[in-house]
Each structure stands twice: as C-alpha cells, then as structure tokens.
C-alpha cells in the first residue's frame, strides 16, 4: 500500500501530507524500540514517549532466541548483536548438581533458520537498538497518565502536563501498561507466586558451560546461568513464596542454593548483593483483543508472559516485525486485525505453556520431582524439539 493511502486510511477526514504524519509509541523497551526501527525501515515516521529520564535496563542479561534473531537479521542487526553477545548452542535443564535432565540442541535450528541464539546484556542490546534509530523522536520523562479516543483520534496526557494527539498509537508500555488499562480495563495481571533475583557478574565459567544455558531445578526453586560476554555471566534464581516475595531475602540467597553445584554457589558468592535485582514474577491473563480503533498493544502490554521459556522479549520483537509488515500492506484497521490474527495464537501458547512450566519447575514433592525428571530424561530429542520448532517459526506474511 502506498504511504499516502496508508495515512488517508488512518485519518480519512483530515488532510495531512505524508511528511506531517507520525506513529506514536508509548514505551522505549525492547518492544517499542524494535517497533520504531521496523517502522522507520518502512519509511514511516515515529515518536516514542518513555517515562524514564534515561533509557537504561536493569543489570541483567537476556536470551534472544532463534525467532527474535530472525527478525534482527531482517532489520540488519544480527551481526552487531552476535558480536556483542555470546552464542548459545544448547538449552539444558539439570538437577541441582548440574546433572543433565533434558537438553535442546539449538544447532538444528541454527541450520534451519541460519541464525543463532544469542545471550547478551540488556543494556548493550538497548544501546544497539537506540543506535539503529535514525529519525525517531524520543521523548523521555513522559509518563503516560491517560489515553482516550474520539473519532478515531487517540489523545494522550502525560504526568508532566503535556498532551498529544496521534494518528496512531502503539502501546508498548509493558506488563502494567497504562494504554491497556485505559482501553481494556478488564484485563488481569496474574501473580505467579515466585520471587526472582537476577545478576550479572564477572566470572570465568568452566569451558563446558560457555556456550549453553543451564537451568538447575531443585525443590521449589531453580537457578539459571549463561555467559553473555567474555568472562561475564548472567544468572537468575527463582523461589516459590506463599504470600509475599518478602518471605525471602537476597541476603540469604547463598543458603537457598547451598546444596547446588559448586559453580552455582561460586556465582552467587561472586555477585555483590547490592547489585542483585529482585522482582516478583507475573503475567497477563490471555486476552482476546489487542486493538481498538487507532490504538494497538504490543509486547508485554498485550501478552506478558512468565519468563520460563525465555520468550517474552522475543515475542515483543516478533510483534514489531509483523506489525510493521501489516501496516505497510493494509489500512490501519485491517493491519491491526491481521497483526492480531497472525500473532495471538503463538503469543498465547507461550503465556499458557510458560505458566505450566513454572509450576512444573517448582514442584516440591520428592516423588513428583523424581517422576518429572524421569519423564524428561527419557523424552526423545525429536519430541523435546517440537516446542521450539513451533516457537522459532516466524509467521508467513
């Protein structure tokens, strides 16, 4: 579709020239920034509004799985991301002593899709995305307070007193999205009952662990670690709580994992506790609609998931690609509908499967743990591969 036609479809009653039009994005997370890059590359003008005073990620890593890296290949970012991160060629579930329970060999997918899985520091990724933007206007210290729509024109007001009208608004403002709360107030955030600690530490991993993600499952808790750069390890630890995350304290982290493998104990001991980021794990109960008139949600705002499949950001990155392709081909409403039809089944599959994995990973009954581990150990690789096979496939556009 021609750009002029595209903008006419967005605001049929108002005459704008193409150069006057913009698409406004709320949120400069991985989803918002990737969407702006994808839209820029289609020749569309974007403005981002971000609540923070500077664009800075928590001190943690992230795994960009094969589907996300296929998108970054299309956006011309693969090489740079690979060169600033660490290639991961298998994802392992182990016992607390790092004895293997199940393994997904990623080399099969590397060959199939010709991209690799990359573990990288979140801050480094964010900087790469920011550097790629050319014309997008980024407005920091703009915390969205309210969005309404009249005659298909989204009006946004910010805590700093500013207000804007948009031809089209994309809500990329994460799990607690204000855009979503204004448009779909019935949607519910679910607490998974798990506290999560994350850290990045200078650590020389034994060579056998350097190109894999290992997640050790114990009794009601687990510990994952992966190299993200030379001598830099990103780790995360989760523990089930009964009522509130404050039942557990970062200062006792060593004791929660005292029966884990020495490498895990050493990683925890090497990380200054004041640099550990603590959060509660939540997701968004799957919802049927992501768009209304000229506003559309993407990423965590639309389909936040628990992190158990390492797919939250990857799904946001897929959204960015699919939405930009749809907006390039169809008028706004058809584009939003097509985007939702193409993305919702997979995004919801991730949310639901990840929720189940979270429960399974945190079993505490020793008999059930034994049965679970046995089933996972004897599952043939061809079956273990089925899940990522489906998730790593981008939709045909």
Ligand X SMILES: Cc1cc2nc3c(=O)[nH]c(=O)nc-3n(C[C@H](O)[C@H](O)[C@H](O)COP(=O)(O)OP(=O)(O)OC[C@H]3O[C@@H](n4cnc5c(N)ncnc54)[C@H](O)[C@@H]3O)c2cc1C
Instruction: Provide the binding-site residues for ligand X, judged by CB under 6 A.
Output: 26-32, 49-52, 62-63, 142-144, 172-174, 178, 196, 198, 236, 279, 299-301, 307, 310-314, 316
- The CA distance from 176 to 265, in Å, is 34
By beta-carbon proximity to ligand X, the closer residue of 26 and 98 is 26
> Which residues are CB-neighbours of 4 under 8 A, at least 6 positions away?
18
Q: How many whole angstroms from its chain centre is CA 375?
A: 29
Compute the least distance from the CB of residue 333 to ligand X, in Å: 22
Compute the least distance from the CB of residue 105 to ligand X, in Å: 18
Compute the least distance from the CB of residue 304 to ligand X, in Å: 6
By beta-carbon proximity to ligand X, the closer residue of 126 and 294 is 126
By beta-carbon proximity to ligand X, the closer residue of 11 and 237 is 237
Compute the least distance from the CB of residue 266 to ligand X, in Å: 21
Compute the least distance from the CB of residue 15 to ligand X, in Å: 30
Q: How far is CA 153 from CA 1, 18, 75, 133, 150, in A?
A: 22, 17, 30, 26, 5
Compute the least distance from the CB of residue 311 to ligand X, in Å: 5
Contact assessment for residue 268 and residue 257, using Cβ atoms and an 8 Å cutoff: yes
- The CA distance from 33 to 126, in Å, is 8
Contact assessment for residue 117 and residue 104, using Cβ atoms and an 8 Å cutoff: no
By beta-carbon proximity to ligand X, the closer residue of 11 and 342 is 342
Q: How far is CA 8 from CA 16, 41, 59, in A?
A: 8, 20, 43
3-state secondary structure (DSSP) of residue 285: coil
How many Å from the N-terminal Cα to the C-terminal Cα in the chain? 14
Compute the least distance from the CB of residue 375 to ligand X, in Å: 25
By beta-carbon proximity to ligand X, the closer residue of 40 and 300 is 300
Contact assessment for residue 45 and residue 135, using Cβ atoms and an 8 Å cutoff: yes
- The CA distance from 185 to 193, in Å, is 23
By beta-carbon proximity to ligand X, the closer residue of 142 and 261 is 142
| Structure-token pair, residue 294 | 């000229």
Compute the least distance from the CB of residue 307 to ligand X, in Å: 4
Q: Which residue matches tokens 């550097």?
A: 131
By beta-carbon proximity to ligand X, the closer residue of 11 and 125 is 125
Contact assessment for residue 293 and residue 149, using Cβ atoms and an 8 Å cutoff: yes
By beta-carbon proximity to ligand X, the closer residue of 21 and 26 is 26
């Amino acid at each position: 579709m021609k750009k002029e036609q595209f903008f006419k479809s967005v605001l049929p009653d108002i005459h704008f020239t193409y150069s006057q039009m913009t698409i406004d994005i709320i949120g400069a997370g991985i989803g918002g920034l990737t969407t702006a890059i994808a839209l820029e590359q289609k020749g569309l003008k974007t403005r981002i509004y971000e609540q923070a005073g500077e664009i800075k990620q928590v001190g943690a890593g992230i795994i960009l799985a094969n589907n996300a890296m296929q998108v970054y290949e299309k956006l011309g970012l693969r090489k740079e991301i690979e060169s600033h991160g660490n290639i991961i060629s298998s994802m392992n579930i182990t016992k607390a002593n790092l004895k293997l329970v199940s393994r997904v060999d990623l080399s099969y997918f590397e060959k199939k899709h010709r991209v690799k899985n990359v573990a990288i520091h979140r801050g480094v990724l964010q900087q790469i995305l920011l550097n790629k933007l050319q014309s997008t206007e980024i407005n920091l210290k703009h915390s969205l307070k309210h969005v309404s729509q009249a005659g298909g024109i989204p009006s946004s007001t910010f805590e700093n007193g500013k207000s804007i009208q948009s031809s089209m608004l994309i809500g990329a403002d994460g799990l607690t999205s204000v855009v979503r709360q204004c448009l779909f107030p019935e949607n519910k955030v679910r607490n998974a009952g798990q506290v999560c600690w994350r850290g990045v530490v200078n650590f020389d991993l034994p060579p056998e662990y350097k190109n894999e993600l290992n997640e050790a499952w114990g009794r009601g808790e687990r510990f994952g670690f992966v190299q993200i750069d030379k001598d830099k390890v990103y780790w995360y630890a989760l523990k089930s709580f009964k009522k509130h995350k404050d039942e557990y304290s970062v200062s006792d982290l060593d004791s929660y994992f005292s029966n884990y493998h020495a490498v895990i104990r050493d990683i925890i001991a090497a990380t200054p506790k004041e640099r550990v980021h603590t959060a509660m794990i939540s997701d968004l109960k799957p919802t049927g609609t992501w768009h209304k008139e000229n506003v559309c949600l993407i990423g965590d705002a639309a389909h936040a998931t628990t992190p158990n499949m390492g797919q939250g950001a990857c799904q946001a990155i897929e959204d960015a690609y699919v939405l930009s392709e749809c907006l390039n081909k169809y008028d706004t409403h058809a584009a939003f509908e097509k985007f939702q039809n193409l993305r919702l089944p997979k995004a919801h599959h991730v949310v639901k499967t990840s929720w189940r994995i979270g429960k399974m990973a945190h079993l505490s009954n020793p008999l059930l743990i034994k049965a679970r581990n046995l089933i996972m150990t004897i599952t043939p690789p061809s079956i273990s591969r089925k899940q990522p096979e489906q998730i790593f496939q981008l939709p045909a556009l």
